Structure 1
Amino acid sequence: MAKIVCVLFPDPADGYPPRYARDTIPVIDGYAGGQALPRPEGLDFSPGELVGSVSGELGLRSFLEEHGHTLVVTSDKEGPDSVLDRELSDADVLISQPFWPAYLTAERIARAPKLKLAITAGIGSDHVDLNAAIARDITVAEVTYSNSISVAEHAVMLTLSLVRNYLPSHQWVAEGGWNIGDSVARAYDLEGMDVGVIAAGRIGQAVLRRLAPFGVKLHYTDKRRLPVAIEEELGLTFHPDARSLARACDVVSIHAPLHPETEGLFDDALISSMRRGSYIVNCARAQIVDRDAVVQALQSGQLAGYAGDVWYPQPPEADHPWRTAPHNGMTPHVSGASLSAQARYAAGTREILEAWLAGRPIRDEYLIVDGGHLAGTGAVSYTAGGAGH
């Protein structure tokens, strides 16, 4: 029998929801490109419930305990005396989320001799030291595509919020004011702007498609150029690298995975090369940008705004400068954790567990590391020799 340790974000401050804003969530038939939705043998929750927090348990407890397995769920993940570190020592499986990551470092892996599987409930497994997982022959899997569109929608929302100066305008109303002059002094139309996407994978392409109707000029860069048909359909301009794109755009939306080639990419030099008054939206990983360079650019006016939902570490310290930087639109790491997305990534997590516990192959598109090497999605999204923490 297996021991599964599951690290999830805490319940809401005012308690686990007794009821929800909506009675149902929309049903989608599949993902763009033909990938099938998660297909577990069963579900022990109703889609639309808060299953990503501790009390929700990803809907896994009944399934696992009925089959004789042990499930430990916690949000306590920091420090040597944390529940995570105590329970990981004899765990077979670790489940974590990119929004509340249990950083599976080489040191933690060394202290977990039985660990065989690390699952990301969502997408993005850079909180796992992939090199250490490869060396130990630990399988790493994530629920690919489960919340890609959720992230894309969040990025579009942040783009509009920054350009239209939404958050300060709302604050004037919330505080009883009617300060039209203050609200519009930094508000622009998105129409006509040059908008660029760093990495045009599933999320990046979804952002491009959603922004196309706004009458913007779209740019992208990626290691793999998109087919000519897609470029022509969306009117895309391809750039060979991020530096070329950044200099040509008013808005840059980052959707690249974190690996040695992208870490620290948007440093002071690159940001200084952008148009004065540009915007950066980052729903990828915080370390792709230089934290202090962003703050300095906001203070100087080189950047008109910065928004995103990714931080390092997560959660960030209380005095993290992005919390109070001018003209920021930061949120907690919530872009991929909507109730709609939770239904998919919880179902996908169960599908992965069902396969692994039964000795069946895990879907190739869910694999990041398998058999001692990058595999499946991991082979095209990550780079060994520096990935992970």
Structure 2
Amino acid sequence: MAKVLCVLYDDPVDGHPKSYARDGIPKLDRYPGGQTLPTPKAIDFHPGELLGTVSGELGLGKYLEEQGHALVVTSDKDGPNSVFERELPDADIVISQPFWPAYLTRERIAKAPKLKLAITAGVGSDHVDLAAAMERGVTVTEVSYCNSISVSEHVVMMILGLVRNYLPSYQWVVKGGWNIADCVARSYDLEGMHVGTVGAGRIGLAVLRRLKPFDVKLHYTDRHRLPKSVEKELGLTFHPAAADMVPACDVVTINCPLHPETENLFDAAMIARMKRGAYLVNTARGKICNRDAIAAALQSGQLAGYAGDVWFPQPAPRDHPWRTMPYHGMTPHTSGSSLSAQARYAAGVREILECWFEQRPIREEYLIVDRGKLAGAGAHSYSAGNATGGSEEAAKFKRM
């Protein structure tokens, strides 16, 4: 029998939904490029249900119980007295979402001698100290591609929201006003602007494809250059580094993984290289951007707007400056947790667990760390290291 410790976000404040806005979600078999969606032997949920919460249990409760395993589900993940901290020492498997991450620091891994598998229910395993996992022989997996298109749609929404000044305009309606001049004083057309992505993997490339019809000039930088045919198809300009790209762009979107090489990439010096009045959208990881440099750039006007749904730590302390800085379009980490995406990453977690318990190989594209080294998607996207430092600040969310 295995003990599975699962950390999920809290249920809705009004309780779990008794009905939904739609009866279901579109059925997909493959992602762009041909990779198949998760293929577990069975699922115990209806696609389109809320699964990422404590009550939702990622649809795993019945399956694990029937297999004789123990499932502990909690949202209490931060601080030395949290449920997660208490339950971790004898856990065999930890499951966590990027949106409400259970930070598996080196110290926590050392306290969990039985831990053999860490599963990210989503994409992005930077909440795990990958170096420590490699040293300890912990397998790290994530459900690659499960929410990449979800995030790319969110990016386009946020770009348009910033450039067209949507959120302040909406607020005038809520307040009963008709303040057209106030709304349009910071509203522009996206057409003709130069838009660049830092990272052109599954999410970044999907963003570029979705922006092409807006008649913008597209730029990208990535450690892996795209094929010439794709560059020609989308009219892309390649730049060897972010520092080379950002001076050319009116809008920059960040779509790269967090690891030691990208941590704090957008600091005051990088932001100073951007055009005055540029927009920055970050749905990758909060730690890629320097918290105070972003807030200062919005105050000074160096940035005209900043939007994203990623923070560090998560949940962000209630006094985090990104909550109150001007000209922002921040949301909690929701871009990859739509009900559509939840069906895919819940099914992917089920597939990984089935493979693990039945001693079958886990899909190569789901592997981040395996047998003491980066593997699969991890070898392509990450560098060995640790980006969890400072995550203990998440405990402040509960105290403030």
Range into which the TM-score falls when normalised by the shorter chain? over 0.9
Q: Structure 2 regions of 5+ residues with no counterpart?
A: 390-400
**Cα drift, residue 33 of structure 1:** 1.2
- Paired position in structure 1 for 2:175: 175
- Paired position in structure 1 for 2:340: 340
Structure 2 residue matching 1:5: 3-state secondary structure: strand
- Paired position in structure 2 for 1:251: 251
- Paired position in structure 2 for 1:57: 57
In the aligned structure 2, how far is the partner of 1:252 from the partner of 1:378? 25
- Paired position in structure 2 for 1:197: 197
- Paired position in structure 2 for 1:184: 184
- Paired position in structure 1 for 2:11: 11
In the aligned structure 2, how far is the partner of 1:203 from the partner of 1:327? 25
What is the TM-score of this pair, normalised by structure 1? Answer: 0.99
- Paired position in structure 2 for 1:237: 237
1:300 paired with 2:300, answer: yes
In the aligned structure 2, how far is the partner of 1:47 from the partner of 1:339? 8
Q: Structure 1 regions of 5+ residues with no counterpart?
A: none
**Cα drift, residue 388 of structure 1:** 4.7
Aligned length: 389
1:86-105 equivalence runs, <5 A: 86-105=86-105
Residue type at the aligned position of 1:59: G
Structure 1 residue matching 2:16: 3-state secondary structure: coil
1:28 paired with 2:28, answer: yes
- Paired position in structure 1 for 2:2: 2
Deviations for 1:159-193, whole angstroms, at most 9, x for unmatched residues? 00000000000000001000000000000000000
**Cα drift, residue 340 of structure 1:** 0.1
In the aligned structure 2, how far is the partner of 1:304 from the partner of 1:327? 7
Deviations for 1:189-221, whole angstroms, at most 9, x for unmatched residues? 000000000010000000000000000000000
Structure 2 residue matching 1:89: 3-state secondary structure: helix
1:69-108 equivalence runs, <5 A: 69-108=69-108
Q: Is the 8 A contact 1:259 1:388 kept in 2?
A: no
In the aligned structure 1, how far is the partner of 2:386 from the partner of 2:313? 18
Q: CA RMSD in A?
A: 0.7
Residue type at the aligned position of 1:331: T
1:211 paired with 2:211, answer: yes
Q: Is the 8 A contact 1:131 1:387 kept in 2?
A: no
Q: Is the 8 A contact 2:141 2:368 kept in 1?
A: yes
- Paired position in structure 2 for 1:263: 263
Q: Is the 8 A contact 2:128 2:386 kept in 1?
A: no
**Cα drift, residue 272 of structure 1:** 1.1
Structure 1 residue matching 2:328: 3-state secondary structure: coil
- Paired position in structure 2 for 1:351: 351
Q: Is the 8 A contact 1:131 1:388 kept in 2?
A: no
- Paired position in structure 1 for 2:109: 109
In the aligned structure 2, how far is the partner of 1:272 from the partner of 1:372? 40
- Paired position in structure 2 for 1:377: 377
Structure 1 residue matching 2:140: 3-state secondary structure: strand
- Paired position in structure 2 for 1:317: 317
- Paired position in structure 2 for 1:141: 141
Q: Percent identity?
A: 70
Deviations for 1:90-148, whole angstroms, at most 9, x for unmatched residues? 01000000000000001110000000000000000000000110001000000000000
- Paired position in structure 1 for 2:118: 118
In the aligned structure 1, how far is the partner of 2:224 from the partner of 2:86? 43
In the aligned structure 2, how far is the partner of 1:42 from the partner of 1:273? 51
Q: Is the 8 A contact 1:120 1:142 kept in 2?
A: yes
Structure 1 residue matching 2:262: 3-state secondary structure: coil
Q: Is the 8 A contact 1:79 1:85 kept in 2?
A: yes
Residue type at the aligned position of 1:272: A
- Paired position in structure 1 for 2:47: 47
**Cα drift, residue 386 of structure 1:** 3.9
**Cα drift, residue 28 of structure 1:** 1.4
Residue type at the aligned position of 2:83: V
Residue type at the aligned position of 2:290: D
- Paired position in structure 1 for 2:367: 367
In the aligned structure 1, how far is the partner of 2:387 from the partner of 2:367? 15
**Cα drift, residue 261 of structure 1:** 1.3
In the aligned structure 2, how far is the partner of 1:62 from the partner of 1:263? 39
Structure 1 residue matching 2:71: 3-state secondary structure: strand
- Paired position in structure 2 for 1:128: 128
Q: Is the 8 A contact 2:246 2:252 kept in 1?
A: yes
**Cα drift, residue 259 of structure 1:** 1.2
**Cα drift, residue 385 of structure 1:** 3.5
Cα gap change, 1:153 to 1:307, in 2 (>3 Å): same
Structure 2 residue matching 1:80: 3-state secondary structure: coil
Residue type at the aligned position of 1:266: F
Deviations for 1:270-311, whole angstroms, at most 9, x for unmatched residues? 111111100000000111111111111100111000000000
Residue type at the aligned position of 2:208: L
Q: Which runs of 4+ in 1 moved over 2 A?
A: 385-389
Q: Is the 8 A contact 2:263 2:387 kept in 1?
A: no
- Paired position in structure 1 for 2:37: 37
Residue type at the aligned position of 1:264: N
Q: Is the 8 A contact 1:130 1:388 kept in 2?
A: no
